[in-house]
């Protein structure tokens, strides 16, 4: 843990952060971030965590990442929350090749496999 003095000589604690994924009793995944992983897990298990997880107890920690700063963990949480279930499972299982494949754009607005997909019609002037 890094401890530094601020200008007013109070001790400032640059706490690390965690991004974590829980599996809820209904089989769904919950992604969160925290400064204290053990404390947060106890909160989730006791029903004092997120509104979502307290409806689907018990929960099980299936994955976590550690960061130097909580804001980095929060950013990663938001990134992973937007992922589909398959992509989260690839991360949980360490299937990094699958992660790359699942990151491929699936909509008609981007290039896919070197082919340009249909573009929007031009507007009339």
CATH number at residue 70: 3.40.1440.10
* pLDDT score for 36: 96
Nearest to 73 by CA among 14, 17, 13, 22: 17
pTM above 0.85, yes or no: no
Reported confidence tier of residue 39, pLDDT bands at 50, 70, 90: very high
* pLDDT score for 99: 85
For residues 8-28, give the mean pLDDT: 78
* pLDDT score for 101: 85
- Any domain includes 38: yes
Q: Range of 46's domain?
A: 17-102
Which one has a higher pLDDT value, 13 or 50? 50
For residues 65-70, give the mean pLDDT: 96
Could you check whether the bond before residue 49 is cis, i.e. omega within 30 degrees of 0?
no
- Assess whether pLDDT exceeds 60 at residue 108: no
- Any domain includes 115: no
C-alpha–C-alpha distance, residues 107 and 102, integer Å? 13
Number of domains in the chain: 1
């Amino acid at each position: 843990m890094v401890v530094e003095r601020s200008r007013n000589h109070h001790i400032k604690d640059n706490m690390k952060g965690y991004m974590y994924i829980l599996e809820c009793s209904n089989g769904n995944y919950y992604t969160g971030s925290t400064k204290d992983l053990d404390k947060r897990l106890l909160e989730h298990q006791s029903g004092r965590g997120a509104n979502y997880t307290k409806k689907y107890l018990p929960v099980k920690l299936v994955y976590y990442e550690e960061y130097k700063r909580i804001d980095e963990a929060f950013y990663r949480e938001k990134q992973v929350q937007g992922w589909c279930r398959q992509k989260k499972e690839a991360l949980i299982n360490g299937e990094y090749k699958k992660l790359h494949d699942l990151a491929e754009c699936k909509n008609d607005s981007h290039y896919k496999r070197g082919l340009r997909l249909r573009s929007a019609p031009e507007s009339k002037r």
